[in-house]
Chains A and B, each alone.
Chain A
Amino acid sequence: MYRRLLTGLQSATLRLDVGIQRVLPQDFNPLYYTGGLANLFLTVLVVSGILIFLYYEPSLEGAYASVEFLTRDVPYGVVFRGIHRYAADAYMVAILLHLFRNWFTDRYREARDSQWLSGMVLLVFSGLAGFTGYLLVWDERSQMLTSLTVQALRSVPLVGHWLAEVFVGGPGVSDTTLPRFLFLHVGPAMALYVLLWWHYVRLRHPKIWPPAVWVLFGLGLLFILASVLPATSGRPAQPGASPEGFPVDWFYLWPYVLARWMAPGWALALVVALLAYGMVIPYTLRETPEERGLRALGQAVVVDENCTGCELCYYDCPYNAIYMVPSPAPGKSRAAANRKLLAVVVDSRCVECGICIGACPFEALELPRMLDRDVQQRIQRGAQAPAAAAT
Chain B
Amino acid sequence: MATKTETAQGTPVRVVGFLCDWAVRSEGLLNPDDTLVGMPHVTVIRVPCSGFVKPGWLELALRSGAAGTFVCGCPMGDCLNREGNWIMEDRIDQLRKRLARQKVDPDRIAFFAYGLHDQQAFLDAVQAFVDRLRALGGGKA
List residues of A whose CB falls within 8 A of some B CB: 11, 14-15, 17-18, 21, 26-27, 29, 32-33, 105-107, 203-205, 207, 294-295, 297, 316, 318-319, 351-355, 357-361, 367, 370, 372, 375-376, 378-385, 389-391
Contacts and interface: CB of A to CB of B under 8 A. Distances in A.
Contacts of B52: 353-355, 357-358, 367, 370
A25 to B, nearest CB: 9
Interface string B1-33: 000001000111010100001000000000000
B104 interface: no
Nearest to B13: A385
Contacts of B51: 316, 353-355, 358
A14 B22 CA distance: 11
Nearest to A378: B45
A316 B87 CA distance: 8
Nearest to A25: B76
Contact of A384 (B6, B11, B14): B14
B6 to A, nearest CB: 7
A376 B141 CA distance: 17
Interface string B73-100: 0011110111110011001000000000
Contacts of A357: 52, 54
B117 interface: yes
Contacts of A389: 12, 40-41
A292 to B, nearest CB: 12
Interface in B32-48: 34, 40-41, 43, 45-48
B65 A358 contact: no
Given A353-B49, A358-B52, A382 B78 contact: no
A354 B55 CA distance: 13
Contacts of A27: 76-77
Contact of B14 (A26, A207, A354, A383): A383
A370 B84 CA distance: 17
Contacts of B115: 14, 17-18
Contacts, number: 140
Contacts of A378: 34, 43, 45
A318 B41 contact: no
A295 B21 contact: yes
B128 interface: no
A204 B10 CA distance: 49
A318 B84 CA distance: 8
- Tell me whether chain B's interface is mostly helix, strand or loop, or mixed: loop
Given A383-B61, A383-B64, A391-B6, A355 B12 contact: no
Q: Which 10 A-B pairs have the closest CB atoms?
A: A382-B43, A354-B52, A32-B77, A355-B51, A383-B64, A383-B66, A353-B81, A382-B16, A318-B82, A353-B49
A352 B48 CA distance: 8
A379 B88 contact: no
Contact of A17 (B43, B54, B75, B84): B75
A353 B84 contact: yes
A358 B21 CA distance: 16
B53 interface: yes
A375 B59 CA distance: 13
Contacts of B21: 294-295
A26 B75 contact: yes
A17 B62 CA distance: 34
Contacts of A358: 51-55, 87-88, 91
A391 B53 CA distance: 31
A107 B117 CA distance: 19
B14 A385 contact: yes
Given A318-B83, A376-B57, A385-B12, A354 B48 contact: yes
B113 interface: yes
Contacts of B113: 26
A372 B6 CA distance: 30
Given A352-B48, A354-B49, A375-B45, A29 B117 contact: no
B131 interface: no
A383 B80 CA distance: 29
Contacts of A354: 47-49, 51-52
Given A358-B91, A367-B48, A379 B57 contact: yes
